[in-house]
Chain A
């Protein structure tokens, strides 16, 4: 990477250069996968040795004179933990994959914010954002559109799955807030239509395949609903990270940096393993686990230097 490219100053919250961070993350993930594979191989080897003890007569077969069925029993005993391990690996891999996409989404959001926040629209002066629900609010809309594109690949394309996932994290918010105010069905229709067109024509061969259109539409809608962008701990609806709400415009003219975070509700789609992962990250979820499809909030933050209007001195 040349020095000139690095001068754009995209950083993680820890101040580390973002591209280096990604490279290190990739190395870490790669090492984790290798470690798990090695561990699994060792475990399997260990199990094999144990079942083959005493020249073929296994300890489980003590008292039995024939070895019929013993292979099936061995297979069953190994298959169950192996399936669990494999499902868990699949889920972990998907989560890691999602983590990378959310990281890219945070980068896209930060880059968009770095240009959009300090542009000027008809109703939003330089450095000032209107809440997205207000009339002629454009800036938040642009930033959220930039974010969504990066998250489309990991969003569910099945309407049923998307609806369940959406219901799950919406209900979780309701349960958490003890009110129904947390559910938001607001959708950026314009962006969804444009995104849908782009996704449909992305692969020319099956451009007008009905299934593809439907899946694209579901992905687009789910992405809009499952994504929250925060700039310096405030989102497009005027809510703060601490739960309070701010009305009126969001003035960033005096900010030195823009800390842009993306929260994405990732659908843990692998049976059993998804629930296990959800519990691993959020033990309290066990109270809701009977009726909810598990989703996990994946977040990433990128910090970018704010551009401020210069004043004569």
Chain B
């Protein structure tokens, strides 16, 4: 049979064709398999991207919503300021208008034109007055409807803060599943911080009202920001300033024109406006505009902006006096003669400004000299001014001063000079030795007192001792100035209005609490990043149930795992008054960072090694 088989040469070419076909089928399978794998890898990566973006998008939505609510509250607060200032202004306007109408009537017919004009003014004043009075119940401090709405909006912000991020946690895997993923999850970056995670805050948006005050609305109300520009406000003008501008615009129709004798109502209004703003903890003055020079009043500001502080050096001395019991403290509250306490440009004025006038919401203190030796001083003179650069960091901004060391003279920084004692002016206006709180504001000074003694012959008494005290003083008269622009200017305003030492004069009172904005917390960065992991089994998803025998013909499914990272960002501003929060994909680094952190915490060298490997093969 074997011989017959050898002799039978039929269909031998078909064997070759069969062999070739097997090779070709194998090659075809390879290509199709590669194509399938590549397509699924790309698909899986895109699903991971969508999952991370879905979680991040809910955060962005939440932050945009909270920004919108903050803007609404800033507008409502501005409205209360404007209406309340107007309602305090109108009685004055009405009173003055009535007096003027009476005078005009008395001098008729000579004052007839004036009388006609006053009648015209009356026609305009009445509806304005009626409108303001109609608004009063809405804007009345604490109890007005506007305040209820503001509190409601703040509550709504809190609800958004608590829920939106968590909705994202639920939605992200659902979207992944709809795109064919076997399993998926997304977490915020802060949860990957080994030992640093705050699980109770997981999913909550990284904004807070903690430690916030109504003064945190100040910058937005006065200077606006990108969020207000998006709403049509002029750049650099917030809703409160906008309202004040509207009032000023009434001027051209001569209703309040001082030349036409209604007592200069814009100025009256400005006064009440400032008062209302100060009540909220805001500085009522008009903010500096872009490109305007800003004067600083403390050495920390001087250092932050790399400018030069100015110190004045004064000398003074007493006459020869009999009482030799004076000490350094008796010369505290020494007052340079060239200072006008009512608004001049000297050291004490600056000192008063430092503790009050330049800090939002605070009231300028009254300078109170108390030292007994101050009255004995007679020969005061300003010797020189000296600039001290603040570019050197923590202890810079102080002048270098001579110091006698035996027969030698060396130079030391004033702050370290042992012969000088550092004084400051406190909130109450009393002078005291410097503390760390306010010791570097303008007006702070360093005193050195030396005593001279002589014997004087007195008829019938023999001799007596007389004393003369000489005093050296260095005074910080200004902490530099600079033209601020862009972010530097914005940050300056935020510091000035948001962290005023005194806070609002009325921090709630009968209101219970003022509305405050939800602002970003310090550690927001990691909470604004989302890390998603998606798993997909090739041949697993969306397959109908297979018969039992299919196991003999199928290979185990290939599993793909992809990860992705998305970031919530706001290019325009993170002031939480700008509704421009968006999401984008970014290079996935959270996992590497978490593993590295685990390694650093001693949780095993494998974690560090894994982090290094992932860093080098990370294909994001």
Contacts and interface: CB of A to CB of B under 8 A. Distances in A.
Interface of A: 1-2, 4-8, 10, 18-19, 22-23, 25-26, 29-30, 33-34, 36-37, 40-41, 44, 47-48, 51, 70-71, 74-75, 78-79, 82, 85-86, 89-90, 93, 96-97, 100-101, 103-104, 107-108, 111-112, 114-116, 118-119, 142, 145-147, 149-150, 190-191, 193-195, 197-198, 307, 309-313
Contact of B229 (A194, A307, A310, A312): A312
Given A22-B39, A97-B31, A115-B585, 4 more contacts: A48-B13, A78-B13, A100-B38, A312-B572
B516 interface: no
B199 interface: no
B22 to A, nearest CB: 10
Contacts of A71: 9, 12
A130 B170 CA distance: 41
A72 B572 CA distance: 82
A116 B619 CA distance: 10
B28 A30 contact: yes
Contacts of A107: 42
Nearest to A71: B9
A146 B179 contact: no
A197 B620 contact: no
Nearest to B28: A33
Interface residues of B, number: 55
Contact of B32 (A19, A26, A101): A26
A34 B24 CA distance: 9
A41 B587 contact: no
B20 A78 contact: no
Nearest to B25: A37
21 contacts: A2-B50, A4-B54, A8-B49, A22-B42, A26-B39, A44-B13, A71-B9, A74-B9, A74-B13, A75-B12, A86-B23, A97-B30, A97-B31, A104-B41, A116-B587, A146-B619, A146-B620, A191-B616, A191-B617, A194-B614, A312-B226
Main secondary structure of the interface of A (DSSP, over half): helix
Given A5-B46, A5-B47, A142-B587, A78 B617 contact: no
Nearest to A2: B179
Nearest to A34: B28
Nearest to A139: B587
A190 B616 contact: yes
Contacts of B43: 1, 5, 19
B529 to A, nearest CB: 12
A3 to B, nearest CB: 10
Given A19-B39, A37-B24, A198 B613 contact: yes
A90 B46 CA distance: 32
B16 A119 contact: no
Q: Which of B230, B580, B617 has the largest count of A CB atoms less than 10 A from its CB?
A: B617
A37 B35 contact: no
A119 B589 CA distance: 12
Nearest to A309: B571
B198 interface: no
A146 B229 CA distance: 41
B179 to A, nearest CB: 5
B208 interface: no
A115 B620 contact: yes
A78 B16 contact: yes
A242 to B, nearest CB: 29
A97 B34 contact: yes
A105 B14 CA distance: 41
B142 interface: no
Contacts of A86: 20, 23-24
A26 B16 CA distance: 28
B45 interface: yes
A313 B571 CA distance: 12
